[in-house]
Amino acid sequence: MQPNTNAAWQDRIPGFQKLLVISAVLRVVLILYSEWHDAHSIVKYTDIDYRVFSDAARFILYPKLQGNIAKGPLTTLFFTVGDPYARETYRYTPLLAILLLPNEWLHPSFGKYLFAACDLINGTLIYQILTLHILPHTKSLAPGVSAENSKRFMRAHATLLAATHLLNPLVFTISTRGSSEAILCTFVLLTLFYALERRQNAAAVMLGLSAHWKIYPIIYGVSCVSVITSQRVDGKGWDFAYLRRLVGRQALCFALLSGGTFIILGAICYAVWGYPFLYEAYLYHTDRRDHRHNFSPYFYLIYLTYSSSGGTPADLSIWRRLLRSPFTSLIPQLTLSLGTGLVLGRFSAGLPFVWFVQTFTFVLFNRVCTSQYFIWYTLFIPLLVPRINISWKKWVMCGAVWMGTQALWLAEAYKLEFLGDDVFFGLWVRSLVYVAGHAWVLGVIMSGYTPFVSCNQHTQTPGHANIHSAILDK
């Protein structure tokens, strides 16, 4: 989709600094409002997860509170520190609770301001990626325009696209309510930024940190390795040279550095907090059973096999055990998310698009899916828009289908959650509609996407350009 290059509209777009100020003020106002609202209303603005984070931080700070002493090998031998996992439902890295320690000694809303600041950092990273790595490499972005006006146009266009993230109600609502997704998004965008800057080692370290924070970014490792390999192999097939490069020195170094970062961080946390960290942060999610409030169609399979009488899985029939098995969802989910990373990393245009497709499929086919998971892939949309050639009508259709299928599900979920109606089957049907609708949206975006051309490729014909050379390098 190529925008209008008329200078008049560029002059009407505020500078990026003004956008940051507006975004910051908006978030501060919402955080202040959340404090007033929570003090005067039974229905709280603040997300329940934020209270969980705050309690976990308090448990770390005060080890003797309710006997919540960490159970790691180091703490039992050398020192005493609190256990955040003493707080029921805290299922995150302990580093998050450590970041929120100022909630106790500074201000209860410190964490919200931290998440809001990460929102602003994310908007800045999106702007930087657009101006440095996407818009300059997009052919025919501003044809027939002077160099000076082209730069003005690029800055205005980047500001406009960054605004779609910074002023997105889903984004600023989630962060000001106290969800920590903004921190993870910062790590992911930093990983992407370093990759596009050809700082491979920094990208690998950030990928390891991102996977430690929440396990799903590990899927990006496949596309990174695939792109590294494709840079150094001529042709587009799956020949022996390409397969050999998959385990070559460059790819192996990236894998070892990212994997090593993940393992070192995990080992440190295990040494301090022991098995509770390992289970709550990672193992719990492999067998999580949420049979009520999530968009995933798998919730109904879990509901049908959910045991309320205390029975064990061995008491269930084979088909019921198959339905409740995590592999029922994990196999198609990982096949799609890892497979698209490998294939698109080999043939496609760049990591922003590949990561978007990987994340979209991961969320769509995840065993559990809530609204905040959508942030994981909508984060990349501003980076894709300059290269998506679809009409405004189709954009509107995509937005209508994306939001409409969610609204359809939420209307039925309201009957279940608040009215107590037995609408499990109807909710499951709407979950299927949600999957079909969002899959259609993904298909439209993929069909309209065209690869960007790197700065050293402008003299080549599009059909012969090596579309990977701007992604990762030595």
CB proximity list for 395: less than 8 A, separation 6 or greater: 1
Q: What is the pLDDT of residue 465?
A: 37
Rounded Cα–Cα distance for residues 173 and 184 (Å)? 16
Rounded Cα–Cα distance for residues 374 and 242 (Å)? 34
Structure tokens at 78: 């050398």
Q: Name the most confidently modeled range: 135-144, 150-159, 303-312.
A: 150-159
Q: What is the pLDDT of residue 324?
A: 67
Nearest to 279 by CA among 98, 47, 84: 84
Higher-scoring residue by pLDDT: 279, 329: 279
Q: Using alpha carbons only, what angle is made at residue 221 by residues 199 and 329, rounded to the nearest 5 degrees? A: 155
The 10s digit of each residue's pLDDT in 372-409 is 899 999 999 999 999 999 888 999 999 999 999 999 99
Q: Over 80: is that where the pLDDT of 63 sits?
A: yes
Is the CB of residue 100 less than 8 Å from the CB of residue 57?
A: yes
Containing 242, the helix (H) or strand (E) segment is helix 240-246
pLDDT, mean of residues 118-138: 92
Rounded Cα–Cα distance for residues 271 and 413 (Å)? 42
Q: 199, exposed or middle or buried, with CB in 10 Å at 0-12, 13-18, 19+?
A: middle
Rounded Cα–Cα distance for residues 258 and 235 (Å)? 28
| pLDDT > 90 in the chain, percent | 51
Containing 302, the helix (H) or strand (E) segment is helix 298-304
Q: State the pLDDT confidence band at 243, using cuts at 50, 70 and 90.
A: low
The 10s digit of each residue's pLDDT in 447-467 is 998 875 443 333 333 333 333
Rounded Cα–Cα distance for residues 272 and 254 (Å)? 28
Q: Over 50: is that where the pLDDT of 78 sits?
A: yes
Q: State the pLDDT confidence band at 74, using cuts at 50, 70 and 90.
A: confident
How many helices (H) and strands (E) the chain has is answered by 24, 0
Q: Name the most confidently modeled range: 69-78, 225-234, 291-300, 366-375.
A: 366-375
pLDDT, mean of residues 150-159: 86
Nearest to 158 by CA among 187, 186, 129: 129
Rounded Cα–Cα distance for residues 345 and 242 (Å)? 12
Q: What is the pLDDT of residue 312?
A: 55
Is the CB of residue 136 less than 8 Å from the CB of residue 455?
A: yes
Which of 32-46, 72-86, 261-275 is predicted with the least confidence, judged by mean pLDDT? Answer: 72-86
Rounded Cα–Cα distance for residues 227 and 248 (Å)? 13
pLDDT, mean of residues 63-91: 82
CB proximity list for 188: less than 8 A, separation 6 or greater: 210, 217, 220, 355, 376, 379
Instruction: Compute the radius of gyration of the chain from its Cα atoms.
Output: 23
Rounded Cα–Cα distance for residues 270 and 281 (Å)? 11
Sign, CA dihedral 400-402-405-408, equals: negative
Q: Over 90: is that where the pLDDT of 5 sits?
A: no
Rounded Cα–Cα distance for residues 163 and 158 (Å)? 8
CB proximity list for 452: less than 8 A, separation 6 or greater: 134, 137, 138, 349, 350, 386, 387, 467, 470
Q: What is the DSSP letter of 283?
A: I
Higher-scoring residue by pLDDT: 374, 325: 374
Rounded Cα–Cα distance for residues 220 and 213 (Å)? 14
Burial per residue of 71-106, b for 16 or more beta-carbon CB atoms within 10 angstroms, e otherwise: bbeebeeeeebbbbbbbeebbbbbbbbebbbebeee
Q: Over 70: is that where the pLDDT of 198 sits?
A: yes
Higher-scoring residue by pLDDT: 78, 176: 176
Structure tokens at 17: 């600094």
The 10s digit of each residue's pLDDT in 269-290 is 999 999 999 999 998 877 766 6
3-state class (DSSP) for residue 107: coil
